[in-house]
Structure 1
Amino acid sequence: MTPADHALQTPLTDRFGLRLPVVAGGLMWLADADYCAAAAKAGFLPFLTAASLPEPADLKAEIGRCREMAEGQPLGVNVSMLPKLVPGEKTEDVFRLIVDEGIDVVETSGRNPEPYVPLLKAAGVTIIHKVPSVRFAEKAQSVGVDMVAIVGAECGGHPGMDLIGSFVNLGLAERRLTIPWLIGGGIGTGAQIVAALACGAAGVVMGTRFLAAAELPAHQGYKDALVAAGERDTALTMQSVRNTIRTLRNETTETVARLERENPEIGIDALMPHVAGKIGREAYRTGDVSRGMLSAGQALGLLERSEGFAEIAKTLEAEALTALARLRP
């Protein structure tokens, strides 16, 4: 694939043959083979989430299934590492499996990927390291990653502790980085893609924009709830345990926020009965979004309907071309 306009051609589209300079960031429990294959065929760069498939045989099987469905389009694997290495962690094993399976791009996050860079580089794997602000992107650049993805405070999931907005990250990245970089957090339109490229980005990361995709493996009631939500319907919690998360506002976020206000030293063990991932997974299964930490960003305000990836790509491309036309005489 090639972009419809040369202005949309970037190091990201060149490297992976994309229709649009858009990464469909890894979504925990949701970015499976069906989702990723549909995103790939629509012209985006998708990532299976390794943490959703902790058994090596399951991850290997899902890679094979996605590769078959994607019909030759590019596919990556997201490896979300814990902030600190813990006994029994199998991160290196996951990377070795990725290499053995011939995956040519990974999206890493959570901590410094430096220990795994030689392994991945030796296999020709492109490393896109995802960070919450430019200062971490500078560190990633210094250890040899190929690209960085900077997700601002508006993003769903984990925006970090700095809470720097995407527009400020755009300006800082242009000044401080020399490797290709992507911007995420609050991105949901084709015009925003053009704005990011104008600021020097090689592309954008989208997550929330795809949460109502027809191919997303979640109950339609969950997707309908997100479409009905707006940019003011998210909440930031878990700052007390230095693991800030932006999620859909619901009963769980209200409870967690109250507990954190009442006891700023509460600790993760006391919060876990409310924030455990298995609670959120029920929302994906049943469509009941009243409970669970359901990652979603302020781009909810830009989510207008549930549709397939092919239609999403058409919309984003048309919006980008309209924005480019506004800039030209």
Structure 2
Amino acid sequence: MSPAPAAPPRTPAAVVARTAATDLFGTRFPVVAGGLQFLADATYAAACARAGIIGFLTSNHFPDDASLRAEIRKARDLCGDLPFGVNIAMLPRSSEHERIERIVEVVAEEGVRFVETTGRSPEPYLPVLKAAGAKVMHKVPGLKYAEKAQSVGVDMVVIVGWECGGHPGPNAIGSIVNAALARQRLRIPYLIGGGIGHGAQVLAALAMGASGALMGTRFLASTEIPAHDGYKAALCAASENDTTISLWSVRNNARTLINETTRLVAELERANPDAGIGPLLPHVSGAAARRTYADGDTSRGMVYAGQALGFVSKPQSVAEIVEDLIAEFAAARAQLDACF
């Protein structure tokens, strides 16, 4: 019996817009799907890769080295020669309960090419990651933090504005201001995140000097996200008006869906703004979020989501979302071209 014919070489899809980000990651469209707490796994990262963007699986919720290593290897198997990355989230200050050093070592040992760091400065971990050949993108909630990250040697920064889900930082500065100021103050490539969920916004980010956009909320209802259908339905039913900021009293601002928990937390923060995290912790713990993802009940817990919920109207695959973004990008570009 003659041997089976070799598989044909991969033919990459046409690059829609070439930027420093698409060059760095080897993608066709300048959108990055950042880490999503407990939800960004190997299957999600691979869906992003096949759609022509890059996704980052989140590392911190894996309880040990072996489970993290297995997920990275699964992502590599699913992606083949397409790019994926690993997100490493750090608390603002180091904690004895953290596993950051071990996570960094596992990521380096596995030869992960792209790493998204967030939280405190990644400076102590850069030597290990760089020695392993990784490119490091650091996510920050303000331009001054981006300048600091630039000074310690990261390859790219992401600046998220006040509109973002998760933790937008202490200063209520929006994405459009961040984008234009970054053009003046940064020397390394940067992405803009926070409230970004439409292809026209991607074009606007490029026009202001960014190398692309980071999106999180836009992908939360994607079919590849491992969460209950009820959770996704609640996101699709929500609008840009349905989020709020909590945890301001402990300087850890968090944007989430408005629900019973956020109303209770708001009452506690107003009543005793100097009480610290203790009274709030039972209501804002990660365990509550895990229950929401599992049972779909978004009436309680901190359900992280940004103002880009205005662009989330139905469950779609990652590939469908990316194709919609590309079509919107093209339409906005044509409209802009018509002005000149």
- TM-score in same-fold range (> 0.5): yes
SS, match of residue 72 in structure 1: coil
Contact 1:248 1:296 in 2 (8 A): yes
Shift of residue 86, structure 1, vs aligned partner: 2.5
Shift of residue 88, structure 1, vs aligned partner: 5.1
1:59 alignment partner in structure 2 = 68
Contact 1:157 1:296 in 2 (8 A): yes
Measured on the aligned residues, the alpha-carbon RMSD in Å equals 1.1
1:249 alignment partner in structure 2 = 258
Instruction: Select which of 52, 71, 89 maps to 2:98.
Output: 89
1:79 alignment partner in structure 2 = 88
2:277 alignment partner in structure 1 = 268
The residue type equivalent to 2:270 in the other structure is R
Which consecutive residues of structure 1, in runs of 5 or more, have no partner in the other structure?
A: none
- The 2-side partners of 1:308 and 1:109 are apart by 26
Matched, 1:307 2:316: yes
2:212 alignment partner in structure 1 = 203
Contact 2:246 2:255 in 1 (8 A): yes
- The 1-side partners of 2:50 and 2:73 are apart by 16
Q: What does 1:93-242 align with in structure 2 at a 5 Å threshold? A: 93-242=102-251
- The 2-side partners of 1:3 and 1:191 are apart by 19
User: Measured at CA, do residues 85 and 57 of structure 1 come closer, stay the same or move farther in structure 2, by a change above 3 Å?
Assistant: same
2:7 alignment partner in structure 1 = none
Matched, 1:48 2:57: yes
1:298 alignment partner in structure 2 = 307
Contact 1:18 1:44 in 2 (8 A): yes
**Where in structure 1 do 4 or more consecutive aligned residues deviate above 2 Å?**
1-5, 86-90
2:6 alignment partner in structure 1 = none
2:294 alignment partner in structure 1 = 285
Shift of residue 46, structure 1, vs aligned partner: 0.6
Contact 1:3 1:9 in 2 (8 A): no
SS, match of residue 224 in structure 2: coil
Shift of residue 84, structure 1, vs aligned partner: 1.1
The residue type equivalent to 1:305 in the other structure is K
SS, match of residue 236 in structure 2: helix
Q: Which moved more, 1:229-238 or 1:69-78?
A: 69-78
Number of positions where the alignment pairs a residue of Structure 1 with one of Structure 2:
327
User: Measured at CA, do residues 148 and 309 of structure 1 come closer, stay the same or move farther in structure 2, by a change above 3 Å?
Assistant: same
Superimposed CA distance per residue, residues 279-316 of structure 1 (whole angstroms, 9 cap, x where no aligned partner): 11111111110000010000001112111011111101
Contact 2:15 2:27 in 1 (8 A): no
Contact 2:111 2:133 in 1 (8 A): no
TM-score (norm 1): 0.97
Which consecutive residues of structure 2, in runs of 5 or more, have no partner in the other structure?
A: 1-11
SS, match of residue 79 in structure 1: strand
The residue type equivalent to 1:202 in the other structure is S
Q: Which moved more, 1:50-59 or 1:126-135?
A: 50-59
Contact 1:3 1:20 in 2 (8 A): no
- The 1-side partners of 2:249 and 2:204 are apart by 34
TM-score (norm 2): 0.94
Superimposed CA distance per residue, residues 134-169 of structure 1 (whole angstroms, 9 cap, x where no aligned partner): 010000000000000000000000001012110110
SS, match of residue 94 in structure 2: coil
Superimposed CA distance per residue, residues 201-234 of structure 1 (whole angstroms, 9 cap, x where no aligned partner): 0111000000100000001111011010000100
SS, match of residue 191 in structure 2: strand
